[in-house]
Chains A and B, each alone.
Chain A
Amino acid sequence: MKKLMLGNEAVARGAYEGGCDFGSGYPGTPSTEILEALKDYDDVVVQWAPNEKVGYEVAMGVSLAGKRAIVTMKHVGLNVASDPLFSSSYMGVNGGLVCVSADDPNMHSSQDEQDNRLIAKAAKVLMVEPCDPEESRWMTKEAFELSEQFDSPIILRMTTRVCHQSGLIEPEERVSKKEKFFVKDIPKYVMLPANARQRRHKVEERLINALKFSNESDKWNPIFNGSKKIGIITTGVSFGYVYEIMAKEASILKLGLTNPLPLERMRRFAESVEKLYVVEELEPYIEDAMKAMGFKVFGSELRPYTGELNLTLVERMLKGEESTKITVDLSDVTINQRPPTLCPGCSHRGMFTMFRDMGLKVMGDIGCYTLGAVNPLKAMDSCMCMGASVGMAEGLTKFAKENDKVIGVIGDSTFYHSGITGLIDMVINKSTGTIVILNNDITAMTGGQPHPGTGFNIKGEDSPKIDLAEICKAVGVKRVRTVDPYNLEEVKKVLEEELSAKEVSVIIAKAPCVLTFRVNFNKIAKVNLDICNRCGKCIRVGCMAIGEKDGYPLIDETLCIGCGICVDVCDPLALSLVERK
């Protein structure tokens, strides 16, 4: 019976059907829902890792044990896991190993839009690319077989529109597989240079074998025969657009196994059509391969080099400008942007208000709190990648002007992910910098996943809790302070003290995520209009619950949860908290 599933849920279903024994990963949009769905299947052990590298390594250990494993991450997560990825390519697998790279063309929730097909090519591992939920299911399922058949980790490359697309799938039974166990094999699994040199040839052999398979496979790389006047090679989500527009007017080669590219199949297809297009998002990965074989191809010059494709863009690519649809004209109206903001009552708001008002130079990081950079807070001066705030704050502190006050600001989950090594660097190199850890007890931005400090795991079971302050002390930080982020007076005092200290210091601002833990202070902010002098300070804390009329604040009582930050910043004491009835 058919089922409605999100692409990510379909990956989990496919993993279950493919006999997957283990799943790990680190949350990251658009990949997060895969493990969250996989945890509900019996017979699969599922756990979050502190970062993608560790998740990949645990999955590799499971593979060596002869079991099947999946590890999930967003595209930039694969950068973190790329060290084990590249070496595991030489080692090959015992049990099937599938690594999901969820790419984010158009950067809906990311800091870059790298095309990880290039990583699969560089790492010389097999790669598959589904186009919709049903393909996500069967390709994941079969990927475990491919992994064992070609002795290669498999990259399952998803994109946002495949991950977060719901559609109908046809579930199948879980496969029964031959039981395997760990086999001692030093030349295969110990990457000493002498062994690695031998394995290097195996990697090339694998690609030659996989190339033969890829060239011959109608299942992975099907051809949809239509008119031979136009031929289109496409992959992933782009296939849907191409098929919808050109199913009758063109022949289509749809690539599902995209590393190694089936060059011979592509050549035969190209020779069978009069005019050849390649339709793919981001890098001209397939297009370059066609050009290298000497074919004239239309493709990247007809589309934007950044962002996603859609029906309109693909239609324009394949049919020219004249096919644009008639739309309602909105050119004469102003429509305000509605940018994402910190939630009403969020424990980060007061912290960033204070950073801004104290004029600090803030090296930021990845998480909800990156929203501290947007109007009206604008209290973040850099955000690069997971964990970078610590090292960057160290570097900036070393060469800052005398009166510049620098802090690094990092979330709890991000600190466990990759902040600790940065802090060690600060200690051993005698930094005088200050790091603020915003601890809301959860991985919040991705929707509330547990991390090493939450005390429970992906299944909601109790798990050991790793204390942030103890970690900081253990790596040698002597000045570790904990503050209440809703007490701005205390926050200011502690910040001033630690910024003037001549050694490395850590301030932990601890309060639970109001969204995940449904925090409500059961109070509402009230304005006394007789006292209010319209200074606008409360409005500049950037809270959804505070609107404005004629310069006066307007409190939205359905959104306000009574955190009191606006009350704290009000100099004339026009704002106060009252009990929620």
Chain B
Amino acid sequence: MEITNILLCGVGGQGILTSGRILALASMDANLDVKMSEVHGMAQRGGNVDSHIRIGEKVPSSLIPKGGADFLVSFEMLEALRYLDFLKPQGMCFVSNLKITPLGSSLKKGASYPENIEEILKKKAPVLKIIEAEKIAKEIGDMRMVNVILLGALSKNLKILTKTNFENGIKARFSPKIAPLCLKAFERGIENG
């Protein structure tokens, strides 16, 4: 069994580490080995954050090499572009259609947020799926659900984990109070995946 590599990325504070944890718990539920790397500390202060998740029968190391990710799940458009070279030639990219302008962009001339980011991503990504995660989260009534919506979209295409594995991962991560809403958001993610 080959190791499946999933790279999550976005901006500090978007819930990227939580998503990684759910994926890892879902893998555990599937009786698979899993390793995950995270970034803590200084990078979390508005910087770009990534989490590498590697799932398989036996996973010796925790970092995905460039050109080695089967899936890239980005919580932000520019971050999808930044990490795109981690994808395998046939890898799939799921991206939330959110744009967060880096602070420096407003300070340097000619370095603003790329206006045609969607076109660039479409041109560069082997397989691209843009998800209106913010809009869906708004409909559900909780903006924190963006991460579970993206996981829903991913789950539809991730063969090694079943829907039940994901649901059990979500239940293991969240309190019984919030888990039902997460499961609902996860369903909406699958519909849009």
Using a CB–CB distance below 8 Å, which chain A residues touch chain B?
A: 2, 4, 6, 29-30, 32-33, 108-109, 132, 161, 164-168, 237, 239-241, 243-244, 247, 310-312, 315, 324-330, 333-343, 368, 371, 375-376, 445-447, 539-540, 542-544, 546-548
Complex-state Cα separation, A239 to B23, whole angstroms: 24
Q: Is the CB of B62 within 8 A of A30?
A: no
Contact of B38 among A109, A164, A343, A540 (CB under 8 A): A164
5 A-B contacts (beta carbon < 8 Å): A161-B62, A240-B60, A310-B63, A376-B107, A447-B40
Q: Write the nearest CB–CB distance from B53 to chain A, whole angstroms.
A: 9
Chain B proximity of A75: nearest CB distance (Å): 13
Cβ of B25 within 8 Å of any chain A Cβ, yes or no, is yes
Q: Is B161 an interface residue (CB 8 A)?
A: no
Known: A161-B37, A240-B61, A343-B45. A336 touches B105 (CB 8 A): yes
Task: Kindly state whether residue B11 has any CB partner on chain A within 8 Å.
Answer: yes
Encode contact with A along B74-116: 1 for CB under 8 Å, 0 otherwise.
0000110110111111000000000001111111000101100
Query: Whole-angstrom distance from the CB of A233 to the nearest CB of chain B?
Result: 17
Binds A, one of B120-128, B147-155, B176-184, B185-193: B120-128
Closest-CB distance, B30 to chain A (whole angstroms):
12
Alpha-carbon gap, A109 to B39, bound state (A): 10
- A-contacting residues, B42-88, CB 8 Å: 42-48, 59-68, 78-79, 81-82, 84-88
Contact partners of B28 in chain A: CB under 8 A: 2, 4, 168
* B21 at interface, CB cutoff 8 A: yes
Set of chain A residues within 8 Å of B42, measured between Cβ atoms: 29, 108-109, 340, 445
- Inter-chain contacts of B81 with A (CB < 8 A): 330, 333, 335
For chains A and B in complex, what number of residue pairs have CB atoms within 8 angstroms? 171
* Least Cβ–Cβ distance between B10 and chain A, in angstroms: 10
> Shortest distance in angstroms between A448's beta carbon and chain B's nearest beta carbon?
12
Q: Is the CB of A328 within 8 A of B124?
A: yes
Nearest CB on A from B162, distance (A):
18
Q: Which of A165, A327, A540 has the most CB of B within 10 A?
A: A327
Q: For chain A, what secondary structure do more than half of its interface residues adopt (helix, strand, loop), or is it mixed? A: loop
**What's the Cα separation between A528 and B45 when bound, in Å?**
29
User: Do residues B101 and A29 form an inter-chain contact, with CB atoms below 8 A?
Assistant: no
For B11, list chain A residues within 8 Å (CB): 338
Q: Considering the complex of A and B, which 3 residue pairs feature the smallest CB-CB distances, nearest first?
A: A240-B61, A325-B67, A29-B41
Of B44, B46, B47, B85, which contacts A328 at CB under 8 A? B85
Known: A337-B102, A339-B103, A375-B104. Contact between A243 and B43, CB under 8 A? no
- 15 other contacts beyond A241-B63, A338-B11, with CB at 8 A cut-off? A6-B38, A161-B62, A161-B63, A164-B39, A243-B60, A325-B66, A325-B88, A326-B89, A329-B124, A330-B124, A333-B81, A340-B45, A340-B46, A376-B107, A544-B103
**How distant is the Cα of A311 from the Cα of B24 in the complex, in angstroms?**
21
Q: Is the CB of B78 within 8 A of A335?
A: yes
Q: How far is the CB of B135 from chain A (nearest CB, A)?
A: 15
A340 and B43 contacting across the interface, CB-CB below 8 Å = yes
- Please determine whether B62 and A4 come into contact, CB atoms closer than 8 angstroms: no
State the Cβ distance, A367 to closest chain B Cβ, in Å.
Answer: 10
In this complex, what residue of A is CB-closest to B89?
A: A326
Which B residue's beta carbon lies closest to that of A107? Answer: B42
In the complex, what's the smallest C-beta–C-beta distance from A328 to chain B, in angstroms? 5
Chain B residues near A243 (CB-CB < 8 A): 60-61
B36 within 8 A of A: yes
Give chain A nearest CB distance to B94 CB in angstroms: 15
Contact of A445 among B33, B41, B48, B114 (CB under 8 A): B41
Q: In the bound complex, do residue B104 and residue A337 qualify as a contact, i.e. CB atoms below 8 Å apart?
A: yes
CB of B36 within 8 A of CB of A237, answer no
Is B25 touching A4 in the complex (CB atoms < 8 A)?
yes
Q: Is B130 an interface residue (CB 8 A)?
A: no
Give min CB distance, B143 to chain A, whole Å. 8
A167 and B85 within 8 A (CB): no
Contact of B34 with A by CB under 8 A: yes
With A325-B68, A336-B78 as known contacts, state yes or no: A30 contacts B104, CB within 8 Å.
no
A29 & B40 in contact (Cβ 8 Å cutoff) = yes
Nearest residue (CB) in B for A344 is B46
A325 cross-chain contacts in B, Cβ below 8 A: 65-68, 88
Chain A residues lying within 8 Å of B20, measured Cβ to Cβ, are 166
**Hey, which chain A residues are within 8 Å of B163, CB to CB?**
none
